[in-house]
Structures are given as C-alpha cells and as structure tokens.
Structure 1
Amino acid sequence: MHYLSDVEERQRRKPSGATWKVTLLKIFLLCAGSVAILLPAWLPNRPGRPLERGTVELLQAGLLAAATAVMIGALAHSGSRRSVCRVMALGLAAALVGELEDFFSGVMKWPFPDAWIIGILLGAAVLTVLKHKKVMLRFIETAGHHAGAGFIGAALLIIYVFNRVVGAPQFWRASLGDAFRPEIPIICKSYLELLACYFIFVGSVGLAITLGRREELD
C-alpha cells in the first residue's frame, strides 16, 4: 500500500499541463496508427495476384508477432504476475499461428498444419491458468481498470461481433443491390481484422508495461 501511495503522490505532483498534452499525443498517435494500417488499400490493383490481400494478412501477422514479442519481453520483469504474461503470450502466439494459416492456406494456397500447434499453445495456457488461479483471478478482477484491456476487448468485439455483420455478403448485397461484388465483403473483413490486430498490439503494449512495472491495475 505504501508503494501505491508513492505512485499516487507522483501522479498528483505531475503538472496538469503536461498530463493533458501527453494524453492528446497518445490519442493522436493511436488515431494516426489506425489510419496508417489502411495504406495497403492504395496499393496498385493487379488482377490474378493477391498482392493487396496478402499484404493485409502479413500486416496482421506482423502486429500479432510484435504483440507476442512484447508480452514475452515482459516475462522477466513481471514478478509474481509472470503467469499472466505467459498466458497472454501463449494466446497471442496461437492467434499468430491462426493468422499465418490464413495467409499460407488462403493466399498462397499452401497447406499449413496449424490445428495441432494452436492446440498445444492453448493447452499450455489452460494449464498455466489452472496452476496460478489466484493470480489470474486477481488480474481479471483489475484488468478492466486498464486501457490496454479495453483495446483488446474492442478488438474482440470487432472480430467476433461487428465483423460478422460487415463481413457478411448478405449485408453488402442488401446495401449495394446490383452494384454488389463478391470481393467487397472479403476486403472489408480483412481490413477490420487488421484494425483489430492493431488494437490488440496497442493493448498488449499497455498491459506489458503495467505488468513489467509490477504496478497494480486498480
């Protein structure tokens, strides 16, 4: 508790002008990143070569790989909450393998044995959770107070809720009528997933910094 009071005291002494400037800078950088990930949409269109879609899939994999690396890097600095970093790193690695499968199988048309790799990673994550239940429950209780968890939650909503509607051909067929083209929902779905991967990366960095500093999330 003494540590927490020291942190609160330092935050209280911080000049208010610096605080809102830093907040605005963070908002600007996040918005700029959200726009920058759409740059592949301006790549030249080459029929017969899935360059644009392949670039988006590689960017998704790159963001997930970076998020995984950040969480692995936080392991050595997270103290008693090392198990939290381990579970998150395993989950992110499983998502990375799934994204690589989408690229190799969907874009390159190469077979990729992803199921057993994902199974091993998720199995190791479940075993870690069961072994460190108290630490994981404490993290779940307090994670909602951190912005990083909010970004990851927003990414999951995009992937599993919003993307189910916007990525559905029926939605665009009803919206565009005769102007509908089959590739439209595929492109929209890919870019929404890319935005979700960016949010996961940002959220992972935020949580890794907090866990690495061994700060409480409340």
Structure 2
Amino acid sequence: MSDTPRAWPLGFRTTLIKAILYVLGIGAIAQGAFLEALYLPDVRFSELGFTELTQTLTLAVSCGLLLYVRHILKVWPTVTLLLLAFIGASLVREQDAFLDQYIADDTWQIIVALIVVPSLAWVVMQRRRFLDEFAHYSNSFSFGLFTAGVLTTYIFSRLYGRQDFWRAVLQDHFVREFKDVAEEVVELLGYSLILVAMIELMLLARRVHKARLAHA
C-alpha cells in the first residue's frame, strides 16, 4: 500500500534545512511583534497591527495548503476536510471585529456554523474512511505540531491572558494592554505552529502522492 510509512522517509539534510527555516520564521514573527510595539503605536496589537494581520495570514496560508493537499494531491480528503473546517473557522473568528462592524453583530458565528456543521456531518458519514486516514496522519510530525499549536492557541493563550492573572502579576500597575499583548502574541505563536504543521502535511502529502504515482 502506497500510504504506508516506508514511503515517507526524510534525510537529515532536508530535516536540518527545514528546522533552520522554521527557526528563522518564528524568530521573524517575534521580531515583528517587537517592531510593532516600537514603531506602530497607533495600531499596535489592534486589528490593523502586525500581530493580528499575521494571525490572519498564517491561517489563510494554512487553509490554502489544505486545499492544495485535498484537491490537487488528493491525499486524505476527510482528514484534510476536518482540518480545513477547524482552521477556516478560526480564520473567520479572527475577523469578528470587521464582520461585526461592516455586516452585523455575531456574523462570524453564522459563518462558522456554515463551515463546521456540514464538514462534521460529512466526516461522520465517511467515518470509516476518516479513521483509516487518521491512523496514518496521527503518526506524523504534522499531527504533533498541529496538536501543539491548538493547545498553545486555544488553551494556554486563554489561560495566560486571563485578566486575573495579570492583575496578580502587576497589581496596582495593571494595564489591560499588557494582558492583551501577552494573549495575542502567544496566540500568534500557536497559529504559527499550526502553519508549520500544515507545511509538514503538504510535504508529507506530496511524498505520498509521488509514491502512489510510482506504484501505479
């Protein structure tokens, strides 16, 4: 079977190059947040600031990679559909301020429901295929990174950004901006991990696709 792990090996050189690129990418994001704080006082950490816009960009690129894997490479269509629904919903959620301002309050919730509900229904209908695909994906580096990104974004950043925590740390010097910056930057880190996971998924899917072609 062409989707078995023996079709997926990577050499040390390739792994080292990717690791260096990922380190540089994460470093660039951290530096971008620093420069935003220094030179963009009017929009820093707002919807028009570097951090928020980069969050949107990472999610949009992740969605694009999943569309490529699902519709061009045609690898693991049910797993990638579920991932696409999750990340697409996150992308819509990040635009809540714009949607509330220019369309209507809570518009993002309706759009998220239109994305998530049909996707979940399809995956449930195709649950045997999903479980077979997930057995492969769950043993990949991409899945580990994706899990780390989700935990960082949706668990750690929320707890780390709690107002009670920052009031305890800063006490009489508490300013809400500290709390918001901490939460948004950690959230960006989580989205960056998800992006790296989708890059790894795309690279893995390309190898699986080539293995299928060779086998055929």
TM-score over 0.5 for the pair? yes
Give the aligned CA root-mean-square deviation in angstroms.
2.6
Distance 1:67 1:140 in 2: 19
Alignment pair present for 1:173 and 2:167: yes
Check if 1:159 corresponds to 2:191: no
8 Å Cα contact 1:78/1:85 also seen in 2: no
Aligned-pair identity (%): 22
Q: 1:33 to 1:80 in 2, by over 3 A?
A: closer
Q: Note the alpha carbon deviations across 1:116-170, whole angstroms, 9 max, x for none.
A: 1110100121122022111211233332311111111011111232113210122
Aligned equivalents of 1:96, 1:143: Cα separation in 2: 23
Matched, 1:132 2:126: yes
Distance 1:150 1:5 in 2: 16
- Which 5+ residue runs of structure 2 have no aligned equivalent? 212-216
TM-score using structure 1 length: 0.80
Name 1:69's counterpart in structure 2.
64
Structure 1: segments with no counterpart, 5+ residues:
none
2:13 matches 1:21: yes
Kindly indicate whether the alpha-carbon contact (under 8 Å) linking 2:145 and 2:197 is maintained by their aligned counterparts in 1.
Answer: yes
Instruction: Write the distance in 1 (CA, Å) between the matches of 2:156 and 2:144.
Output: 16
TM-score by length of 2: 0.81
Alpha carbons of structure 1 residues 202 and 184: separation in structure 2 relative to 1, 3 Å? same
Return the match for 2:43 from 40, 44, 50.
Answer: 50
SS state at 1:178 partner: helix
- CA distance 1:32–1:85, change in 2 (3 Å): same
- Structure 2 Cα separation of the partners of residues 83 and 64 of structure 1: 19
2:178 to 167, 181, 184: 184
- The reply on whether 1:37 has 2:29 as its aligned counterpart is yes
Residues 163/32 of structure 1: CA separation in 2 closer, same or farther (3 Å cut): same
In the alignment, is residue 199 of structure 1 matched against residue 193 of structure 2?
Answer: yes
